[in-house]
Chains A and B, each alone.
Chain A
């Protein structure tokens, strides 16, 4: 079982470039999430999708867009990358809200913006 798969694992961008981080889960979960992790700040929620066709802003959505392509896939797009977006990005999935189910995380994408 693959669980949550993120691609790419590493990426270096120049300021102003765009890219899309891909995430797919094979656990038939309804909810999916994007977090960023920065030293001393824990994980901060960027966007989440409670179910296919819906997305909501998290704590730090500025500079990002998301697409819930289908039940399996949830992508994160940086339209014009900035050095402040240098971070490790984690995708996660879980059962619907209210269930108390834990999130299952991917292994992360380490992004550097120069």
Chain B
């Protein structure tokens, strides 16, 4: 069975600073990887996804993530954050054979002025 671990429950950062949100996964079969964002009192919105091909994936709002198969990681990065990026971020993995999407525990990004 697959699993996802987000290594940081909270990440405080100052506005315009770079940020990295870490995600590791485990699976015995090939996977698709996703990052979702959840703003307060809202549903989840897709940030980006990795299906195959280039390991560097660009998403919305200036976010990008890099798939590292040897380290089974899919870390999310942004070079310069804004106050509006304050939200909860979820990493998720979906295997091609089951279709189930399993989420990590979430990381709260707190951008301070």
Query: A interface vs B, CB < 8 Å?
Result: 31, 33, 35, 40-45, 48, 50, 58-59, 90, 92, 94, 96-98, 100, 102-103, 105-108
Name 10 A/B residue pairs within 8 A (Cβ), A-sorted. Answer: A35-B103, A42-B6, A43-B103, A90-B44, A92-B101, A97-B99, A98-B99, A102-B34, A105-B43, A105-B44
Contact partner of B101 among A33, A41, A50, A108, CB < 8 A? A33
Given A41-B105, A100-B49, A100-B51; A107-B98 close (CB under 8 Å): no
Q: Which of chain B's residues have a CB closer than 8 A to the CB of A107?
A: 42-43
Q: Using an 8 Å CB-CB cutoff, how does the interface string of B27-62 with A read, 1 for contact, 0 for none? A: 000001010000000111110010110000000000
Q: Which of chain A's residues have a CB closer than 8 A to the CB of B46?
A: 102-103
Q: Which of the listed residues B45, B49, B103 has the most CB atoms from chain A within 10 Å of its own CB?
A: B103
Query: B interface vs A, CB < 8 Å?
Result: 6, 9, 32, 34, 42-46, 49, 51-52, 90, 94, 96-106
Q: A43-B103, A45-B100, A107-B42 are in contact. List 17 more A-B contacts (CB 8 A).
A: A31-B99, A35-B103, A40-B106, A42-B6, A42-B104, A42-B105, A59-B102, A90-B44, A96-B99, A97-B94, A100-B32, A100-B51, A100-B52, A100-B94, A103-B101, A105-B43, A106-B43
CA distance A92 to B9 in the complex (A): 24
Nearest A-chain residue to B47, judged by Cβ: A102
Given A102-B34, A105-B43, A107-B42; A58-B100 close (CB under 8 Å): yes
How far does the Cβ of B44 sit from chain A's closest Cβ, in whole Å? 5
Q: Which of chain B's residues have a CB closer than 8 A to the CB of A96?
A: 99
Nearest A-chain residue to B6, judged by Cβ: A42
Contact partner of B96 among A43, A58, A97, CB < 8 A? A97
Q: Are B99 and A42 in contact (CB under 8 A)?
A: no
Q: Are A40 and B94 in contact (CB under 8 A)?
A: no
